[in-house]
Amino acid sequence: MRGLSFLLTLTSLISPLCSLVVARTCTLSPLGHGRDDTEQVLRAIDECGSGGRITLNEGNFNITKKMTWDLRNSQVDLFGKLNFPPDIQYWLNNSSTYRVVFIQSQASWFVVTGSDFVVDAHGQGGIEGNGQPWWEYFQSHTREDGDGRPLSLTVFNATRGTIRDFTINAPPFWCNAVANSVDVTYDGMKCNATNTNASFFGQNIVPNTDGIDTYRSDRVSLLNFDITSGDDCLAIKGNSTNVLARNITCRGGNGVAFGSLGQYVQFNDIVENVVLEDMQMIRLNASIQPNMVSGVYFKTWTGTVNGVPPTGGGGFVKNVTSRRVSLDRVDRPVHVYQTNGGSSTDTPSSLQFSDLAFEDWTGTADTTELVDIECSPAVPCPDISFSNFDVTTPENAPPELICKDVLSVSGLSGEIHWSYSSEV
């Protein structure tokens, strides 16, 4: 006993001393008066980003250049907004952004990397993406993957990192991506991509404003999200494993995506052990955002090696559960297809979906097509299960339930339209 209490006393004496010696603190406020804040923010990260604490006070930090925060054993308290001015031609120049997210060579203007860090925006800070002029610009310019539209917050090559109570307003492109990372938690993320120019009411001018894309990452938690988007609320891309998403509100857009997968012939995309729970899909006023497409959907490219970079990748998706999902006038609650970007003469995909569970779904669809599962004839889907799937069709019309190249499905009530390709 005496030994233990002595030890406790010793450590409680030592640890405050250590933190006095080691922990550095940096506190800064926006410079204002049209000045550029990029340098002072980067200097603070440099001075206090290793074993220290950084406070960015309220106000708009004018961030005019690409920026990486390399954080080691440190915390950033972001009360202010990182404001990325909409200098579209500047940001579209390749040298103005990073290309760390390999898939589709997406551009990033702000990258957080490192280990054992917390970025806490305390429900008031985050990123101002100034997306409105971007969305309007791309009404008359072609959008392509990798065209340089910057994603707002990229967590890359990170280990044990937390992003907390963070708001991203008006992202020009994807709101978030986490890539090549392990043990990353997002707890409290609000993204809002909403067109406010009446000339475009009734149209979706905010495609590609995904809430978050996960790629090449293991053990990722996505908690307490509120995403207003014209595209995927969450997109689980290749090599995302052990992902937990909980309490996710998706306002408008495409719903939660698994994919696209199999986009690169040289890679297998592996997605395994994913739980999505307590999700709600909310249809918005059609003037503001016309789309509310799916609850959860799964998509792959075909097996044909096509285009540049060549498509036709394999892999698998298994053990995915989506539970307690509530829908508000969704077009097609559950959708699986393996013909993204393909034609009818293509080789079927070799990427197999299996062990997909849909539990405790409620709410409304605005078409009768509740479930449309169309697997690849090369690798038909086993173990698809539904339980308490209680989604209402308009005027309670009989639901359409489509199972193509599905090996086994359980728990669906209603008449299932089965079909198999000749290969099965």
Binding site for ligand NAG (CB under 6 A): 34-36, 62, 64, 85, 93-95, 99, 105, 115, 136, 146, 157, 192, 194, 196-197, 199, 201, 216, 224-226, 228, 238-239, 242, 247, 249, 251, 267-270, 273, 275, 285, 287-288, 319
Residue 75: which H helix or E strand, with range?
Answer: strand 67-78
Minimum distance from residue 23 beta carbon to ligand NAG (Å): 21
Q: Tell me the residue length of the chain.
A: 424
Which residue of the set 231, 232, 331, 405 is catalytic? 231
Q: For ligand NAG, give the closer residue by CB, 41 or 401.
A: 41
Query: Measured from the CB atom, is 144 or 395 closer to ligand NAG?
Result: 144
Cα 274 to Cα 319: distance, rounded to the nearest angstrom: 6
Token pair 């359980």 is found at 410
C-beta closer to ligand NAG: residue 64 or 300: 64
Closest separation between CB of residue 5 and ligand NAG, Å?
A: 39
- Other CB atoms within 10 A of residue 105 CB: 14
| Rounded Cα distance, 343 and 90, in Å | 37
Place of tokens 């390709």: 421
CA distance 255 to 29: 38
3-state secondary structure of 172: coil
Joined together, the tokens standing for residue 86 give 């909409």
Burial zone of 215 (CB within 10 Å; 0-12 exposed, 13-18 middle, 19+ buried)? buried
Residue 421 CB, nearest approach to ligand NAG (Å): 27
Q: What is the largest CA-CA distance in the chain?
A: 79
CB of 285 to ligand NAG, least distance (A): 4
Nearer to ligand NAG, 117 or 337 (CB): 117
Report residue 246 as tokens: 């909980």
Q: How far is the CB of 288 from ligand NAG (least distance, A)?
A: 6
Q: How far is the CB of 74 from ligand NAG (least distance, A)?
A: 14
Nearest distance from residue 168's CB to ligand NAG, in Å?
11
- Distance of alpha carbon 259 from alpha carbon 234, whole angstroms: 10
Collect all residues with Cβ–Cβ distance below 8 Å to 10 and sequence separation of at least 6.
none
Residue with Cβ nearer ligand NAG (36 or 369): 36
Nearer residue to ligand NAG within complex by CB, 262 or 348: 262
Q: How far is CA 368 from CA 156, 292, 357, 397, in A?
A: 41, 15, 21, 7
Nearer Cβ to ligand NAG (19/285): 285
Residues in CB range of 133: below 8 A, 6 or more apart = 86, 88
**In this structure, which amino acid lies at residue 338?**
Q
Does residue 231 carry a catalytic annotation? yes
Query: Would you say 330 and 364 are in contact if contact means Cβ atoms under 8 Å apart?
Result: yes
φ, ψ at 199 (rounded to 5°): -60, -25
Closest approach of ligand NAG to the CB of residue 249, in Å = 5
* End-to-end Cα spacing for the chain: 70
Which tokens hold the place of 99?
Answer: 């290309």
Give 101 or 370: the residue with its C-beta nearer to ligand NAG. 101
Report, as residue numbers or ranges, the catalytic residues.
231
